[in-house]
Structures are given as C-alpha cells and as structure tokens.
Amino acid sequence: MSTAPLSAVASPAPPAIPRHVAIIMDGNGRWAKARHLPRFAGHKAGVDAVRHVTRAARALGIEALTLYAFSSENWRRPEEEVNDLMGLLRLFIRRDLDELARENVRLRVIGDYRRFAPDLVELVDAAIARTAANTGPILAIALNYGAQAELAAAARRLAARLAPEDITEAAIEAELETRDLPPLDLMIRTSGEHRLSNFLLWQAAYAELLFVDTLWPDFDGEALADAVAAFGRRQRRYGGL
C-alpha cells in the first residue's frame, strides 16, 4: 500500500481573515423605533453589540477593528441625543476597559475627540494610556471623526513641511490617523444604507465593501463571522487581472 504524497492530502488553504475591519454601526434609532422605544434604548443596545462584536473580532484573529461611533456630522443631532451618546461612551469605558486591558487589546481613538467635554477627554486619554503597552489586537474608536477633516489636516501639516513634489501618496498615508494600523481590508455598514458617510475615505480605496440590512443592535459575533466569510469569497484584483 502506497501513501499519498503530502501535497495530495494537505487541507485547503485556510479562509482569508481580514487584517483590518471597519464598521459603520448604523441603525440604532430604527431598531428602537421598531420596538416603540426611545432612540436612547437603541444606542444602549448598540453598546452591547459593540461588546459582542469586539469579542468575536478577537476570536476570529482580526488584528484591527475600527468602529464609527460618532461622526463629525453627528453634532447636527439634537443636543439631548448627543449627550446620550457621550454618556454611553463614558459607560462603555467604565464597564469594558477592564476586559479590554486584560485581553491585551490596544485601545485607540481616531477623530477630534478633544472637542468633547473635559472629563470625557480625560477618561478617553486614561483608557488609551492604560492599554498602550498591550501587544494584542487594536480596537480603534472613531469619535468626532470625519475623513475629509482628517485629509485636510494631513494636507495642512504636509504643506507646512514639504515641497509640493514631496507630497506623495506615501507621505499622505503617513499623516493619517490610521498610519500604524494594517491596511483596511473590509468595511461593513449595517442598516441597509449604502454610503460611507465620511468614514475612512482614503483608507477605503481598495477595501472590500459589505452592506448588510441588519440593524446595528442586532449585529453579533455570528454576523461578523458571516461578514468575514463573505470577505473570504471576494477576489481582490487591485486593478490587475
């Protein structure tokens, strides 16, 4: 009896896991409305979804997860809702930071969060500092983030420092708030909307886009695993063949 050569029995290549996933967490308000609840209840359920999805991302081996929590345009919402969102951010940090720190997660923030209330800025800074020496996956939260503002700020810094011919794609890339994150592989938006709403516009150049109808509070670990599986079936060509 002959044994088959090793190559003939080798298992198929493991499915591709995106290194960096970004999520536009949309649909909290509609989730609440469907239940005849105040919008706040949707945002609160949305925080629970953040917990489940960040755990699932770690289990799947995703290196970086960037979550759109508050856009630079969300200031247009009623003051009460903005305050509710800030309150939930405080709650999230107070309740979830221990687990993130213990799980070796590096917490980051992108966006101009220094425009938030001083106590919240302090809380965010302390949370970032507490996990800064960790070596595991990155959880980046986008707070008062807008991609156009990010790019304009990068352009201003480069113009002050470099001659026009030195303002290259690599130079711009190195000024972005995501500079030390892996390249963006997968961008997910929940709630059936098909737009990027000023999120990671530069970084999304060759990301795979996935739009799902699920409302954010209903998006869970299984939904993330499904998204990763869908990513694994995509063929990325980057302009080639």
- Residue 32: CB minimum distance to ligand IPE, A: 8
Q: 70 vs 231, which CB is nearer to Mg ion?
A: 70
Q: According to CB under 6 A, which residues from 144 to 203 bind ligand IPE?
A: 191, 193, 195, 197
Q: Does 85 bind ligand IPE (CB under 6 A)?
A: yes
28 binds ligand IPE, rule: CB under 6 A: yes
Whole-number Å distance between alpha carbons of 41 and 45: 6
Asked if 70 interacts with ligand IPE (CB under 6 A), we say yes
The neighbouring-strand residues paired with 24 are 68, 189
CA 216 to chain centroid: 13
Total interface residues for Mg ion by CB under 5 A? 1
Report, as residue numbers or ranges, the catalytic residues: 26, 74
Q: Which is nearer to ligand IPE, 48 or 193 (CB)?
A: 193
Considering the complex, what minimum distance in angstroms separates the CB of residue 163 from ligand IPE? 37
Per the DSSP assignment, residues forming a β-bridge with 64 are: 20, 138
Amino acid symbol at 165: E
**Among candidate residues 173, 108, 176, 169, the one with its CA nearest the CA of residue 143:** 108
Give 73 or 122: the residue with its C-beta nearer to Mg ion. 73
Least distance in Å: CB of 30 to ligand IPE? 3
Among 53, 69, 140, 228, binds ligand IPE (CB under 6 A): 69
Cβ distance to Mg ion smaller for residue 26 or 185: 26
26 sits near Mg ion (criterion: CB under 5 A): yes
Which entry of Mg ion, ligand IPE, none binds 131, CB below 5 to 8 A by partner kind? none
Does residue 27 touch ligand IPE according to CB under 6 A?
A: yes
Among 66, 71, 203, 214, binds ligand IPE (CB under 6 A): 71
Question: How far apart (Å, rounded) are the C-alpha atoms in residues 141 and 124?
Answer: 10
Please state the closest distance from residue 70 (CB atom) to ligand IPE, in A. Answer: 5
Q: Which is nearer to ligand IPE, 158 or 188 (CB)?
A: 188
> For the chain, what is the radius of gyration of the CA atoms?
20
Q: Residues in the site for Mg ion, rule: CB under 5 A?
A: 26
Residues that bind ligand IPE (CB under 6 A): 24-30, 68-71, 74, 85, 191, 193, 195, 197, 216
